[in-house]
A and B are shown apart, each in its own frame.
Chain A
Amino acid sequence: MTSEVGSQLLFQMRRIRHVEQEIARRYGEGKMRCPTHLSVGQEGVAAAVGLALLPSDLAVSGHRAHAHYLAKGGSLRAMLAEIYGKVDGCSRGKGGSMHLIDEAAGFMGSTAIVGGTIPVGVGLAYGMKCKRTDQVSCVFHGDAAVETGVFFESVNFAVVKKLPVLFVCENNLYSVYSPLRVRQPEGRSIAAMAGALGMSTASGDGNDALGVHAQTTAAIAAIRAGHGPRLLEFSTYRWLEHCGPNFDNDIGYRSESEYQDWKSLEPIGRLASALIADGRVTSQEVAQMDERIRREVDEAFEFAEASPFPDPSDAYTDLHDASVAAPAEA
């Protein structure tokens, strides 16, 4: 571990958290008019995996994708403009928070159907195999996605073909309001279950960003060396409600004490304390990071707010490639 990795992780996690908290703070203004799933508390996995991947590697994700998109290098301005429904959004206002894309950064898309991008990520890896590149395709998913049939189907094919796929499972214990105990048998390890499908898997503490980075770096090296797919399961916890800007520990599906327990293990403070204690980062440097982040985020929100809405006629575009002769459909 280098101090550079530590400070990069700290910066990215603080950046992601600030973005998410600013979205939450401004959400009530009613200008971000779409379902928005925030990653506050889960920044460790995204930041560490994003840093471990190369810019040329590809990634896909699901409905809670802001952190993955940002950590992979996606444009913050384009993401916020998208959430505001503006023409400068990464999906030109057609997708919103749940449909993020920045191909230049290797973020190939996030979608709103749980498990829906898992085979897409595997298919990207099949393309890599056909074209003999040394890229890795990273599939971010959650604990509920491993309950879908398409997860098993996709992993099976990735194993059969030894494809360069890294499955990153963020286990945050809940699918909307449904706890793991009503969805999966008691004591199940997702990593062990996935391992039974024929690939190397491991689990880890998702709130230990340095640990996630080390595990992911090793997994990616093995994948790049041609050893086939890997799955890493990281335990973590979302602080806010499933969808929206609020805390919801009071509505009865989880307890305040559970939240407080997880909060005490949260990834950002832990890493900051460790880095400061070791003298690898100073408090002053952390303050400078935050100032840089605040400026970037403020500017990105200004950009998003100032961007125009798409013209209403844009709703008719992007259905098919416009270069193909217009069908007689209209």
Chain B
Amino acid sequence: MPVKTFAQAINDALSLAMELDPGVLCYGLGVDDPKGVFGTTLGLQERFGEDRVFDMPTSENAMTGIGIGAALYGMRPVMTHQRLDFALLSMDQLVNNAAKWRFMFGGRRGVPITVRMILGRGWGQGPTHSQNLQAWFAHVPGLKVVMPSTAEDAKGLLLSSIFDPDPVIFLEHRWLHNLRGEVPEGDCRIPLGTSRKVREGSDVTIVAMSYMTIEAIHAVSHLEEQGVTCDLIDLRSIRPLDWPAVTASVRRTGRLLVLDSGNLTGSVSGEIVARVASDCWTELRAAPQRLAMPEYPEATSPSLTRGYHVRAEHIVDKVGALLGRPLESASLQKQRTHPHDVPGDWFAGPF
């Protein structure tokens, strides 16, 4: 299988979807510019023309509604926001129209629109370029919310999102765009609502999403060296959420740690802990735990973000607390060779 970056996998999925269905549109600020939204949309306009691939006015709300109208007409629009934060201007169209249309018109027609939103982090993205508001969208019946963490999943889930008959919010973490992985050729759709078991273990269930999965993999490997094995579940879809996979794992391990890339209060992790507490109460051997962003926005200065995000060492420490014994985590921090505000040497800004 060819190895590609997450960004190339997104580009693959868009190209293939546009080949498969002439109704697929791809638009958003900068989709046809020289950078092509971090490479994800490069070359599409040349291949598919300006009617189907186009830049847009800075009109997030109307352009979302226009996508909805085009979807009602039979198109499959894919709209892209270079940051989720910009998409907040479109909440009316997303919540009142896209999410409601099928229901409020008694099932007469759905809205097959996909809205890509990129989640920023680090390099001084600051309070309004770094928000992880998946919980907002997951709260709304009628929306589906997808958060891939690998290149293969990015392609397979984006294809499924585009061909889904209903609106899908597709959240791409900026720190994943350069992640490499094997990506199948062709139509490799992955059903929405299915999680991926990343690691098998028996001591603790770790539920992760998006970039948190990467930190969790480092943590789980480190834990294995200390004789602790974890079930690591990458949710992939936030709504619908793969509850059977989560509860089955917790029933086996009796311990749950949820990793959330958003702020703690009102988060998806809170919903998962609540559901597990209700459904698996007697099987739990320790109080379910969460790691999420603290209760303030991400600041800009690197000196203010050093302790902001959940890293592998925090996960190891939390697993130790769940098991009631100290585990070594300091060496994880020492292994990190790049500054805390970038995902790796490949990232040198500007955004």
Contact = CB atoms under 8 A, between A and B. Distances in A.
Interface of A: 60, 89-95, 99, 101, 103, 108-109, 111, 113, 116-131, 137, 149-150, 153-154, 156-157, 160, 317-321, 323-325, 327-329
Contacts of A149: 61-62
Interface stretch (B209-217, B240-248, B256-264): B240-248
Contacts of A122: 62, 65-66, 69
Nearest to B194: A328
A150 B70 CA distance: 16
B2 interface: no
Given A95-B105, A149-B61, A321 B110 contact: yes
B274 to A, nearest CB: 15
16 contacts: A94-B106, A101-B106, A111-B104, A113-B92, A116-B97, A117-B65, A118-B62, A119-B61, A123-B65, A124-B72, A127-B75, A149-B62, A153-B59, A320-B142, A320-B144, A324-B165
Interface string B128-160: 000000000000011010000000000000000
Which 4 pairs across A and B sit closest by C-beta, in order of nearness? A123-B69, A119-B65, A127-B73, A327-B240
B108 interface: yes
A136 to B, nearest CB: 13
Contact of A91 (B23, B62, B74, B104): B104
B59 A156 contact: yes
A325 B102 contact: no
A101 B108 contact: yes
Contacts of A129: 51
A91 B108 contact: yes
Interface in B39-78: 51-52, 56-57, 59, 61-75
A109 B191 CA distance: 30
B72 A108 contact: yes
Given A95-B105, A101-B105, A150-B62, A123 B67 contact: yes
A122 B63 CA distance: 9
Nearest to A89: B106
B244 to A, nearest CB: 5
Contacts of A150: 61-62, 65, 92-93
Nearest to B25: A130
Contacts of A126: 66, 69-70, 73, 75
Given A154-B66, A328-B193, A328-B240, A318 B166 contact: no
Given A125-B69, A321-B102, A329-B241, A92 B107 contact: yes
Contact of B239 (A92, A125, A156, A329): A329
A60 B59 CA distance: 20
A327 B104 contact: no
Contacts of A117: 65, 97
A123 B108 CA distance: 18
Given A113-B96, A320-B102, 15 more contacts: A93-B106, A99-B105, A103-B109, A119-B63, A122-B62, A123-B72, A124-B72, A130-B70, A153-B62, A318-B107, A320-B144, A324-B164, A327-B239, A328-B241, A329-B243
Nearest to A327: B240
A92 B63 contact: no
A1 to B, nearest CB: 33
Contacts of A127: 69-70, 72-75
Contacts of A101: 105-106, 108-109
A153 B72 contact: no
Contacts of A93: 106
Contact of B193 (A153, A157, A160, A327): A327
Contact of B69 (A91, A124, A319): A124
Contacts of A95: 104-106
A328 B107 CA distance: 20
Given A127-B74, A160-B57, A329-B239, A321 B165 contact: yes
Contacts of B92: 113, 116, 150
Nearest to A160: B57
A145 B74 CA distance: 26
Contact of B52 (A60, A94, A130, A156): A130
A73 B166 CA distance: 28
Contacts of B68: 119-120, 123
A316 to B, nearest CB: 10
A115 to B, nearest CB: 8
A125 B72 CA distance: 11
Contacts of B70: 123-124, 126-127, 130
